[in-house]
């Protein structure tokens, strides 16, 4: 068998193992180990890889940002930020038909700005917003559907753990990836709000109006959210730099890792000052962040061994050359790749998809001419991949956010959630089409700032 055939066989076997519920890290590591063994004809070769790979992977300075952003998200979850955000959004929007659902979207966007995790955003906002929507007479489908969709904003609104991993895998600037995600993230939130507005007009019985809140109370609740936006603004300003609009190209005030540390410290202090987070919550947050970091690092180790196997076979380069020689239009190839992500998203989590596919798909994208620079092509593709991965989180039958919301709303059949989330999936697909057709929407802010 050729190297390409071996790599394709290994990839198929690995997918089979994942579908059989073998942990993704174990499946990738085992495939990489056995593949290198077969190619080299000796177990010594993969063992030699294992001698240096763990240190090379875990000693990477870029990866220090991961546990710090995870800790920031844990502190945000336990410090009451979600409740303050939802209360403010509900006071301003709740009097409109479907306004509480719109408020849930806005609160998810705000919480995602300090959390960085889709699952944590969905779970936390579900506990805060779902009881209020049910009290206001919102249908089960709309209540759970909007929360599942809103939760996906956690990995699109920066900071995002998935964006960090993508930037490391493709050797891109983490700050530029964060900046590029801002406009698509705001478009996602706006699209969900518009979807709610259309939904409640098509199905008037799905939502009711809350009483109009006096302006004084609105301003008080809005004031209560200032720490969230202050922390987000400081972290983003710090890692993007001291902007001089007359001379674009900012000098960062601190590195992304330092920014993550500042964000984690300030978020933790917020929880203690407001007395929302005690010492036990503090210890639980550290433990949960440590568990999540260990899981991510183990997956990264498995991905490293699998990527070493792919590098040995030269399969990604061979596939890229084959695609180029076939003469397919670049947009045709891109759409095919995005469709693959949609299919994988039905059965896999977002981190696994990125780690599994980027080493294969990215060389193909690099070999195609989209009329952009190599850096802009990488940034644009990264945001598109992230968005389609996000769609996978709410795509039946195995969208992870759907099950998170179902755990929060245990007495609501998951079929209702499937029904309620469908309009939001359609909104996401429309947004993907727009961003594919107009790359400048994603890239213009990066071009302005750098």
Omega prior to 159 cis, within 30 of 0: yes
pTM of the model: 0.85
DSSP code, position 241: -
Omega prior to 397 cis, within 30 of 0: yes
Residue 116 to residues 70, 281, 441, Cα–Cα distance (Å)? 7, 19, 22
CA distance 82 to 229: 12
DSSP for 262-297, written as a single string: HHHHHHHHHHHHTT---HHHHHHHHHHHHHHHHHHH
pLDDT > 60? residue 242:
no
CA distance 37 to 50: 12
Closest CA to 29 of 9, 47, 4: 47
Mean pLDDT of 275-296: 86
In three-state secondary structure terms, 120 is helix
Q: How confident is the model at residue 402 (pLDDT cuts 50, 70, 90)?
A: confident
Q: What is the pLDDT of residue 435?
A: 94
DSSP for 155-219, written as a single string: GTSSS-HHHHHHHHHHT--HHHHHHHHHHHHHHHHHHHHHHHHHHHHHSGGG--PPPPPPHHHHH
CA distance 285 to 207: 35
CA distance 257 to 424: 34
For the beta carbon of residue 397, count every other beta carbon within 10 angstroms.
Answer: 10
**86 near 95, Cβ under 8 Å?**
no
Q: How confident is the model at residue 241 (pLDDT cuts 50, 70, 90)?
A: low
Give me 375's structure tokens. 């850096």
CA distance 340 to 438: 21
pLDDT tens digits for 334-368? Answer: 999 998 888 777 667 777 788 888 888 898 898 88
pLDDT tens digits for 125-184? Answer: 888 888 888 888 888 899 989 998 988 888 888 878 888 889 888 888 888 898 999 999
Residue 306 to residues 8, 40, 321, 356, 386, Cα–Cα distance (Å)? 12, 15, 21, 9, 21
Q: How confident is the model at residue 248 (pLDDT cuts 50, 70, 90)?
A: very low
């Amino acid at each position: 068998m050729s190297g390409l055939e071996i790599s394709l066989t290994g990839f198929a076997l690995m997918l089979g193992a994942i579908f059989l519920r073998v942990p993704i890290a174990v499946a990738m590591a085992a495939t990489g180990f056995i593949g290198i063994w077969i190619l080299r004809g000796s177990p010594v070769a993969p063992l030699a890889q294992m001698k240096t790979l763990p240190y090379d992977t875990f000693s990477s300075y870029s990866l220090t940002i991961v546990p710090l952003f995870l800790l920031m998200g844990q502190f945000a979850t336990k410090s009451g930020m979600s409740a303050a955000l939802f209360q403010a959004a509900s006071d301003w929007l709740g009097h409109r038909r479907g306004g509480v659902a719109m408020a849930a979207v806005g609160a998810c966007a705000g919480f995602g700005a300090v959390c960085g995790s889709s699952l944590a955003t969905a779970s936390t906002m579900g506990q805060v917003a779902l009881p209020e929507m049910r009290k206001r007479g919102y249908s089960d489908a709309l209540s759970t559907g909007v929360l599942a969709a809103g939760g996906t904003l956690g990995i699109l609104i920066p900071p995002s753990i998935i964006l960090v991993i993508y930037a490391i895998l493709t050797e891109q600037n983490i700050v530029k990836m964060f900046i590029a995600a801002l406009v698509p993230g705001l478009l996602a939130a706006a699209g969900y709000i518009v979807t709610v507005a259309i939904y409640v007009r098509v199905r008037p019985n799905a939502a009711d109006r809350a009483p109009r809140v006096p302006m004084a109370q609105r301003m008080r609740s809005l004031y209560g959210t200032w720490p969230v936006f202050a922390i987000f603004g400081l972290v983003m300003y710090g890692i993007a730099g001291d902007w001089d609009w007359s001379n674009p190209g900012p000098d960062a005030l601190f590195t992304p890792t330092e920014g993550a540390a500042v964000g984690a410290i300030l978020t933790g202090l917020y929880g203690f000052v407001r007395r929302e987070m005690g010492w036990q919550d503090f210890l639980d947050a550290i433990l949960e962040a440590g568990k999540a970091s260990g899981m991510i690092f183990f997956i990264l180790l498995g991905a490293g061994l699998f990527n070493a196997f792919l590098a040995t076979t030269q399969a990604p380069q061979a596939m890229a050359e084959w695609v180029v020689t076939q003469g397919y239009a670049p947009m045709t190839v891109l759409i095919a790749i995005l469709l693959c992500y949609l299919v994988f998203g039905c059965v896999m989590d977002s981190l696994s998809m990125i780690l599994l596919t980027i080493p294969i798909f990215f060389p193909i994208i690099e070999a195609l001419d989209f009329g952009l620079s190599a850096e802009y092509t990488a940034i644009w593709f990264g945001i598109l991949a992230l968005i389609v991965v996000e769609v996978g989180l709410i795509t039946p039958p195995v969208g992870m956010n759907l099950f998170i919301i179902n755990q929060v709303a245990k007495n609501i059949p998951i079929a209702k959630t499937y029904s309620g989330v469908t309009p939001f999936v359609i909104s996401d697909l429309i947004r993907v089409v727009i961003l594919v057709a107009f790359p400048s929407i994603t890239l213009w802010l990066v071009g302005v700032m750098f």
